[in-house]
Structure 1
């Protein structure tokens, strides 16, 4: 089979490889499309200690063609999107059966774009932050894959006001299409908000943005940290200060959830998929790349060029 390999010299190459075989509790999937996500950026940058050569790609959509021991054979032929730890940029990939999410209700491109970002956005809003009627919500990286769906999930959960923050002015109009009542650039944040405070803040940015976000948290507010796009430098927070204002600093790690609570993640993914399938939430595929262009796709995501979600066509 053909696969994209990240080699020991940090170069991406298309290589011929032996097809993987589904082990116990796994399914084998013939991949039609794979989603591009931030895990690819982190692997390329050496932030994950993964031995090379390595086939990247953490979300793959296609048809189940074989199952391992303990998996119902009736699943063969099922259209799914798989949340995986690598191997997605290949014609065949194996995945834990529990994290092969039924995608019969959406087209294959949307299934690939659903990937990790949509269940992540769903869990951030509903499971972790617990957004409820009347809440005010601030979402950083509002034009990205998570941000463009999180705004919609917040509105669906009953948020009264949803404000997005994007990296530059060129992303403003794009982010406004996804349920936000107001969108600011990172340069405008927080001054353009006056004295406004928020019940919920989603922060994948880190650094000075995290510090400024904490200052905008309302009494009993919840800030959810789920990434460090700007910097890996830690931000120190006083638990005493949070306690005095009844505030909570929460974190979310979907990769960890896939390893420790896979069924819980799968349940969230199924609920999110239902909202996409019935049209309540829209996933925007803004770019489609050929397998030979995986390196460009990942570089565009790392450089902030990507809006919404990009996918790779597996041929």
Structure 2
């Protein structure tokens, strides 16, 4: 089968490899589309140590063609969306049965766009940030896959005010489609907010933006951290200051959750998928690439030149 392989020279190449066979508790999926996500950037940069050559890709949509031991054979033929640990940029991928979801009723492009971003956004709003009716919410990377979905989940949870921070004017214009009351560029944060405070802030940025976000929390506010786009340099936070203001700093790592408590991730994904199927939220696929253009897709994501969700056509 055809697959994209990341080799020791950090290059993506198309190669012919053997089709994978599902082990116990797994399904094999013939892939129509694969989603592009920031994990692809981190793998290429070496932040996730994986043996090379490596078939990347962590999000797949397609049809189940085989099942491993212990998996209901009735799944064969299902249209699904799946969260994988690797291998989605290939004609066939194996995925855990628990993290493979029935996508009947969704078109294949939307099913691929669902990916990790949708359950991540759902958890950041509902499980980690615990957004409640009347809360004021600020979301960094507001035009990205997680940001656009988190805005919709926050509105569904009853957020009274929603502010987004983006990289530039074009991203701000795009993000207006997702319910934000105010959009700021990164250069305008936090100065343009005057004395405004927030109950929940979502931060995948890190560095100075993380410290500025912490300062912008209202009493009993929650800072939800889920990435380090700007820098991996550590940020020092005084827990005594947090205690006095009743503020909380929380983290969310969906990849770790898939290994430690996959049933929790599956539950969040199922709830999010239901909202998507009911058209209460939407995944916005804004770019489609061929397998041979994966390098371009990941580079654009790394440089902050994307918005919404990008996918790769496999079939």
Give the structure-1-normalised TM-score.
Answer: 0.99
Structure 2: how far apart are the matches of 1:188 and 1:170? 15
1:174-201, CA deviations, whole angstroms, 9 ceiling, x for partnerless residues?
0111011111001000011110000000
Alignment-derived partner of residue 16 in structure 1: 16
Structure 2: how far apart are the matches of 1:204 and 1:122? 15
Q: Counterparts in 2 of 1:86-165, with a 5 A limit? A: 86-165=86-165
Q: Counterparts in 2 of 1:181-260, with a 5 A limit? A: 181-260=181-260
Q: Counterparts in 2 of 1:274-313, with a 5 A limit? A: 274-313=274-313
1:14-73, CA deviations, whole angstroms, 9 ceiling, x for partnerless residues?
000000000000000000000000000001111111010000000000011100000000
1:64-101, CA deviations, whole angstroms, 9 ceiling, x for partnerless residues?
11000000001111111111111000000000100001
Alignment-derived partner of residue 83 in structure 1: 83
Structure 1: how far apart are the matches of 2:192 and 2:162? 15
Where in structure 1 are there 5+ consecutive unaligned residues? none
Measure how far apart 1:110 and its partner are.
0.2
Runs of 4+ in 1 over 2 A off after TM superposition: none
1:185-226, CA deviations, whole angstroms, 9 ceiling, x for partnerless residues?
010000111100000000000000001000000000000000
Q: Counterparts in 2 of 1:9-88, with a 5 A limit? A: 9-88=9-88
Structure 2: how far apart are the matches of 1:115 and 1:37? 8
Where in structure 2 are there 5+ consecutive unaligned residues? none
Structure 2: how far apart are the matches of 1:181 and 1:266? 31
Aligned residue pairs: how many? 315
| Equivalent pair of 1:102/1:270 in contact (CA under 8 Å) | no
CA root-mean-square deviation: 0.6
Structure 2: how far apart are the matches of 1:38 and 1:46? 13
1:132-152, CA deviations, whole angstroms, 9 ceiling, x for partnerless residues?
000000000000000011000
Measure how far apart 1:105 and its partner are.
2.7
Measure how far apart 1:271 and its partner are.
0.5
